[in-house]
Amino acid sequence: MKICFIMYPWEKIDPKQDSSLRIIHECVKRGHHVSLTTPSNLTIRDSLTMSFCKTFEKGKVTNNMISFYDKSKFQTELLSLRDFDVIFMRANPPLDPLVLNFLDSIKDDVFIINNINGLREANNKIYTASYYDPERELIPATHVSKNIDYLMRVIKESDADKMILKPLDGYGGSGVIVIEKSAMQNVKSLLDFYVNRDRGVSNYVILQDYVEGAEKGDVRVLMLNGKPIGALRRVPSASDVRSNISAGGTAEKYKLTKADKILCDKVGEKLVRDGILYAGLDIIGGKLIEVNVLSPGTIKDINKLNGVKLQEKIVDYLEEVVKTRGEKE
């Protein structure tokens, strides 16, 4: 299998924690032809979509992740993306839509995870916010806008004492804060900062009902082909509302409840319909808070807590897809 990971730079990987590295390691260990590239390296040459890639050189593969990272050697080359069997999208959000334009020309020839059209629809938080759920069984009441007066009205009219405010394009818990009605004199200033943080460009923000129990953390569920393959609870530190591990949260073992499984089944059906075959769900109090479709993490922590290797399930799935596609040709 020839696989290319379109991701963040190799030099920025934290080998102790990084989920992409664990999937990459599993592919290299199995003897697959593995290349890495970044969105900025995509190019078109003679009408072919190509990229400047770092391809792993063959050699002994250690099971120690830090040693594997430190000792990996690459050959840099310009490669046609059409020649790969799989392209695995692992770039951090927000995703430049031009990346998808580059990949449009090969989407029928290469298995891309996640699907290009799915990424167009789901690569930011609007995907979750616009989920049709009139009875609010799956997601809390959510508002997306850049109109500060409207957002102020939403907060004032809310029955809750507090709401969650976050930027539309944030990830890893960046910019997530709690808005409290008891401090309304500060709210307009906060909204102005979030909406107008870039000079000359106004930004969308999300206001979401605060779900009771959020202070105890959230549940991250990794979904593969519409089914949950692993989960954990992320608990925030005493000094932070965010439970993301990258923001200082800690991981605890978690077993999905019956309600969690029902939610995963319902959301999983939509994900598969939309071509989102690998994703991370963030759940609080039985409510879906976010769907992460680009580079969901937590593989290392789920593995450690449960004595599993999720990367094996992921690569097994990729190999099966490639095999099935080959049989149909």
Say what percent of the chain tops pLDDT 90: 65
Phi-psi region of 269 (alpha: psi -120 to 50; beta: other; left: phi over 0): alpha
Helices (H) then strands (E): counts for the chain? 10, 16
What would the two tokens of residue 131 be? 């989920």
The tokens describing 291, both together, are: 């769907």
Q: Is the pTM of this model over 0.75?
A: yes
**DSSP state, 176?**
-
Most confident of 97-106, 258-267, 312-321: 312-321
Q: Nearest CA to 144 among 121, 164, 116, 162? A: 164
Rounded distance between C-alpha atoms, residue 124 and residue 168, angstroms: 7
The tokens describing 223, both together, are: 């979904």
Q: How far apart are CA 95 and CA 98, in angstroms?
A: 8
For position 34, what pLDDT does the model report?
A: 98
CA of 300: how far to CAs of 22, 245, 314, in Å?
Answer: 8, 11, 13
Predicted confidence at residue 243, as pLDDT, reads 53
Least confident of 111-115, 116-120, 199-203: 199-203
Phi, psi of 18 (to 5 degrees): -65, 130
Q: How confident is the model at residue 244 (pLDDT cuts 50, 70, 90)?
A: low
CATH pick for 2-119 out of 1.10.3720.10, 3.40.50.20, 3.40.50.720, 1.20.1740.10: 3.40.50.20
303 sits in which H/E element:
helix 299-306
Chain segment 213-228, per-residue pLDDT in tens: 888 889 999 999 999 9
> What is the per-residue pLDDT for 245?
58
Mean pLDDT of 113-127: 88
Q: What is the DSSP code (8-state) at residue 108?
A: T
**CA 94 to CA 16: how far, in whole Å?**
24
Would you say residue 248 has pLDDT above 70?
no
Tens-place pLDDT, residues 147-164:
999 999 999 988 888 899
Residue ranges per structural domain of the chain: 2-119, 141-209, 215-313
| Alpha-carbon dihedral sign for residues 311, 292, 14, 102 | positive
- In a 3-state reduction of DSSP, which class is residue 111? strand
Closest CA to 226 of 256, 268, 265: 268
Q: How crowded is residue 77: how many other Cβ atoms within 10 Å of its Cβ?
A: 12
Q: What mean pLDDT comes out for the span 267-280? A: 96
pLDDT tens column, 70-93: 999 999 999 999 999 999 999 988
Fold category of 215-313 in CATH = D-amino Acid Aminotransferase; Chain A, domain 1 (3.30.470)
Tell me how far apart the alpha carbons of residues 289 and 138 are, in angstroms, rounded to a whole number: 9
The helix/strand/coil state of 144 is: strand
- Note the pLDDT tens digit of each residue in 6-57: 999 999 999 999 999 999 999 999 999 999 999 999 999 888 999 999 999 9
Which is it for strands 42-45 and 33-37: parallel, antiparallel or unpaired?
unpaired
State the DSSP code for 181. G
In DSSP notation, 240-264 reads -S---GGGT-EEEE----HHHHHHH
Position 226 scores a pLDDT of: 97
Cβ atoms within 10 Å, residue 182: 7
* Cα–Cα nearest to 53, from 6, 11, 99, 97: 6
Q: For position 241, what pLDDT does the model report?
A: 52
Topology of the domain comprising 141-209: Dna Ligase; domain 1 (3.30.1490)
